Amino acid sequence: MVVEDGLLVVVNGIGIPVLIRAYGDVLVPPNAAVSVVSALFHATLDSKLVLASVASPAYAITYRHLPASGVLLAFFHRRACIDALLLWLEHCLCLLLGPTLLMSTDAGALKFELARSHVVESLDWLVAHRADMDLALGLPLSTPGDIACLDDILTWASDMYVLSNGVVVGDRGDVRSTLTRHEMVLCVILAKQFALQCKDRHVQHTVYTAGAQKRQIVLVRVAPNVAWFGLAGNSVPNAVVQSTVVDKLSLWCSCTDVNRLARSTLALENALVGPLLGYCAGRLQPSSRHSSYVYFGAQDDADLRLLRPDDTTFPHSRDHVRLLLQQHYQHRLNDGGASHDDVVQLAHLALVYAVRAPLHFVCIFYADASTNRLDQVLAATDNFLNVLLSH
């Protein structure tokens, strides 16, 4: 979790601040100061330009404009690379608010919707966890073991999933998910948050998927740190949720070690030494069920900085390694994966794609082309994966 000073400002289409959230030790500024930040951005629009950021030696303001609604997101921070966070905040607002965003000149309506607890909590979670791998990859974390088929347990007409400690351990079997990857990640976040509270057994929220399709997400807390969520076209009566979902899942949990289903997905830190800079793994055929990743690890910043310290093109941080993994992993997902190992040799890096059914892996090695042969890199990959898969 990232604990840093920051300030999120949401401004509606006519320049009125509708949400201000302070993080860390930051104090909420006067409305006049927030209005100046908004005015700076809108002044550039009059000149047919788009202001991306304003920076000083200590702080920066990064903007993201939602043209369809005119809503403006601004984030005050000390940390670079905040664009990805703003994109996730946009995805979150579109999922939870839908057409309310398009009517953003109504400041009262927008403030009311933004003040809902699950909306604020989701925005706060994205800010606090913006360095997490599920946001970097745009994929939720799922168990490396067998995923439970929920169609064998209860009857539900659309997408449904079970999480244990935030890890997806159950879905609808071979039924293709109707959620996009970022919608899936955000729904998992809603379910993780709900699993941590102990006030309600189940709750429903309106969400808008595929642009503006209005649906209900039903959240059920099955057991401590175990949650189920399902999507429905309309609101589901509480009695139906109780009999159709809660009772059957409670029976299933009473005779299933759900925590075992979510067996350790922690990185093998003792293997992340020497030439192995980082790795990521997922299922070979995620599209028929739901896209996810199952393993991730990267060396610490201090260790990375010891390698080629004077080379500005070399990845000297976990964030840089994470970005390389994301790019290569996403490239493989877009290609539908491959059935054989492959290596891409760069100046001082080797990006290895390895298939070990039912999983596939992307590994990044420090491999100077002048001294390290590709067969040595592949041998190192085999040794690492043997350890990982026997964990």
Q: Both 228 and 295 in a single domain? A: no
What's at 146, amino acid-wise?
D
Please state the separation of Cα 349 from the chain's center in Å. 26
**pLDDT at site 194:** 93
Is residue 98 domain-resident? yes
Q: Both 239 and 295 in a single domain? A: no
Final residue belonging to a domain, choices 256, 279, 306: 256
**pLDDT at site 156:** 93
Q: Both 25 and 126 in a single domain? A: yes
In the structure encoding, which two tokens stand for residue 240, read together? Answer: 């139906």
Is residue 261 domain-resident? no
List the Cα angle 115/119/125 in 5-degree steps: 125
Q: Give pLDDT < 50 ranges for the chain.
A: 265-267, 287-288
**pLDDT at site 90:** 95
Q: Tell me if 344 sits within 8 A of 335, measured CB to CB.
A: no
**pLDDT at site 338:** 62
Q: Both 113 and 213 in a single domain? A: no
Is residue 276 domain-resident? yes
Is residue 137 domain-resident? no
Residue in this structure with the two tokens 């793994």, named with its chain if needed: 281
| DSSP structure class, residue 50 | -
**pLDDT at site 287:** 46
User: Dihedral of CA 287/288/291/296: which sign?
Assistant: negative
The Cα 21–Cα 6 span in angstroms is 8
Distances from the Cα of 366 to the Cαs of 137, 273, 276, 380, in angstroms? 22, 10, 6, 11
The Cα 141–Cα 280 span in angstroms is 11
Final residue belonging to a domain, choices 211, 228, 256: 256
Is residue 141 domain-resident? no
Is residue 275 domain-resident? yes
Number of domains in the chain: 3
Q: Both 309 and 241 in a single domain? A: no
For 351-389, the DSSP string reads EEEEEETTEEEEEEEE--TTT--HHHHHHHHHHHHHHHH
pTM of the predicted protein model: 0.86
**pLDDT at site 198:** 67
CATH of the domain at 184: 3.30.450.30
Is residue 21 domain-resident? yes
What's at 4, amino acid-wise?
E
Give 175: exposed, middle or buried? Use CB within 10 Å, 0-12, 13-18, 19+: middle
Q: Both 236 and 213 in a single domain? A: yes
The Cα 108–Cα 220 span in angstroms is 31
Q: Which domain holds residue 249?
A: 147-256
Q: Both 192 and 105 in a single domain? A: no
The Cα 336–Cα 284 span in angstroms is 9
Final residue belonging to a domain, choices 195, 229, 256: 256
Q: Both 16 and 93 in a single domain? A: yes
Is residue 189 domain-resident? yes
C-beta pairs of 374-383 under 8 Å, 24+ apart in sequence = 374/343, 374/345, 374/350, 377/275, 377/343, 377/350, 377/352, 378/341, 378/343, 378/352, 380/275, 380/276, 381/341, 381/352, 381/354
Q: Both 125 and 154 in a single domain? A: no
